[in-house]
Amino acid sequence: MIYKGFNTKAVQSGERDYNLLDTVTFPIFQTSTFRMNDEKYSDLNGRETFFYTRINNPTTRVAEKKIADICNGSDAVMFSSGMGAISAIFNTFLEEDDEVIMLKEMYGGTYKLMKSKFERLRIKPVLISVNDLENLEDYITRRTKMIYVETLTNPLIKLVDIQKVSEVARKNGIISVVDNTFMSPYNFRPLEFEIDVALHSTTKYIGGHSDLVGGVVVSRDLEIIQKLLEERSTIGSNPSPFDSFLTIRSLKTLGLRVKRQNQNAKILAEFLNDHPKVKKVNYPTLYKKIPDCFKSCPGFGGVMYIELESFEKAIEFMRNLKIIIEATSLAGVESLITSPVLTTHAGLSDEELEKAGISKGSLRISVGIEDIEDLIEDVKRALAKI
């Protein structure tokens, strides 16, 4: 059968038909659902047992089921933030003396978590570049437990060959984890390439309105889901029911929003790429070659990386903008811009920034759903003043 919805291609299901824009229904308002018995009390991590929100909540459960469907997974576990989801993955699957292959170009928050936690727990990060993925298997040792990558790196917007990561991980019996936040499940679904774990900061595209904070982990392996559920229940990193409600609301317009952001970002990237005051633009539609796994994608989201002549020029340009707002988040309906060296990668030294390939004159732009002519005029006017 087929799940119908915003996806450009049907997601296969083995059980029933319904439109993903419709509400997933559970008997959560029937009195019998809330009547406890000894069996329910003993099933502390039962997915449909609702007696304490840190352990489970009916609104959160609806959101998890909908996200699992959209991502083509078997189930999902929601968290209070994207970093909460990442922390839970590391806590659950990594032990002392394990090695983790990660990208040098990773998100600054993940990098800080890795630095603060791994050394203390004697977990060794093996940092490689996106360009090293061609020889990924050369970095695997008997201690390698996990390969952790981002679909699009933050903030450099480099595409990662997810199919290659999946093949190497499966061949060597290693857990593969993909942070798919920047692509969103509308544009790309890592689980369809046999990745073990896909995660999203629901704060970003899944939320899409800059009014909630959350994270989610999706997998086709129910044993992975159960372990993460136990971790969430133990450390208390569950989302609030209201944020779960907002997530359900946002899923109804995910396809509409991301489709428009794909279109706007492509046009804006081309305009900036041709502008004499912009040194560099990183956005997938400008690349001469992309990994095969992305060739059927409807788009690449709204986030792009640009470089200006200097840090001072970048800040001046950013502060000259009127429509595009200076703010650290991304993927909302409004266009945002930020300096990575002041925000997402502020904790990195000059040497670490250089190793990550992040320029002092860099900016990350998250394109929203505004009229593209207005956005181009805003950028043109701001560049003319520097």
Residues 276-325 pLDDT 10s: 999 999 999 999 999 999 999 999 999 999 999 999 999 999 999 999 99
Alpha carbon distance 21, 189 (integer Å): 18
375 and 232, same structural domain? no
319 and 241, same structural domain? no
18 Cα distance to chain centroid: 26
Answer with the one of 232, 251, 270 that is the final residue of a domain: 251
Q: Which of 98, 101, 122, 102 is nearest to 110 (CA)?
A: 102
Alpha carbon distance 305, 281 (integer Å): 6
pLDDT band at residue 41, thresholds of 50, 70 and 90? low
**Which one of 69, 75, 161, 179 is the catalytic residue?**
179
Q: Domain of 81: which CATH number?
A: 3.40.640.10
233 and 185, same structural domain? yes
Domain count, the chain: 2
Q: Please indicate whether residue 221 is annotated as part of the active site.
A: no
Q: Is the pLDDT of residue 257 over 60?
A: yes
347 and 202, same structural domain? no
**Which one of 22, 52, 54, 122 is the catalytic residue?**
54
Compare 106 and 73 and report the one with higher pLDDT.
73
pLDDT in tens, 321-343: 999 999 989 999 999 999 998 98
Average pLDDT over residues 86-112: 94
Q: Is the pLDDT of residue 349 over 50?
A: yes
Alpha carbon distance 136, 113 (integer Å): 23
pLDDT band at residue 120, thresholds of 50, 70 and 90? confident
Rg of the chain over Cα atoms, rounded to whole angstroms, equals 21
pLDDT in tens, 62-82: 999 999 999 999 999 999 999
Q: Please indicate whether residue 107 is annotated as part of the active site.
A: yes
The boundaries of the domain holding residue 376 are 254-384
Alpha carbon distance 128, 151 (integer Å): 15
The pLDDT value given to residue 47 = 79
Q: Please indicate whether residue 227 is annotated as part of the active site.
A: no
Q: Please indicate whether residue 305 is annotated as part of the active site.
A: no
310 and 182, same structural domain? no
Q: Is the pLDDT of residue 30 over 90?
A: no
Q: Is the pLDDT of residue 11 over 60?
A: no
Q: Domain of 299: which CATH number?
A: 3.90.1150.10
Burial class (CB in 10 A: 0-12, 13-18, 19+), 342: middle
Alpha carbon distance 273, 283 (integer Å): 10
220 and 321, same structural domain? no
pLDDT in tens, 79-90: 999 999 999 999
The pLDDT value given to residue 51 = 80
304 and 181, same structural domain? no
Answer with the one of 251, 286, 320 that is the final residue of a domain: 251
**Which one of 66, 69, 104, 107 is the catalytic residue?**
107
The pLDDT value given to residue 21 = 42
Q: Which residues contact 132 (CB under 8 A, 6 or more apart)?
A: 139
Region of poorest pLDDT, from 30-39, 73-82, 210-219: 30-39
**Which one of 204, 227, 232, 257 is the catalytic residue?**
204
Phi-psi group of 236: left, alpha or beta (phi > 0 → left; psi -120 to 50 → alpha; rest → beta): left
Answer with the one of 230, 251, 272 that is the final residue of a domain: 251
247 and 288, same structural domain? no
The pLDDT value given to residue 144 = 98
The pLDDT value given to residue 143 = 97
293 and 196, same structural domain? no
Q: Is the pLDDT of residue 27 over 90?
A: no
351 and 335, same structural domain? yes
188 and 168, same structural domain? yes
Alpha carbon distance 85, 91 (integer Å): 10
**H or E element, residue 147:** strand 144-150
The pLDDT value given to residue 35 = 64
Q: Which of 128, 137, 155, 113 is nearest to 363 (CA)?
A: 155
129 and 270, same structural domain? no
Q: Which of 258, 205, 191 is nearest to 82 (CA)?
A: 205
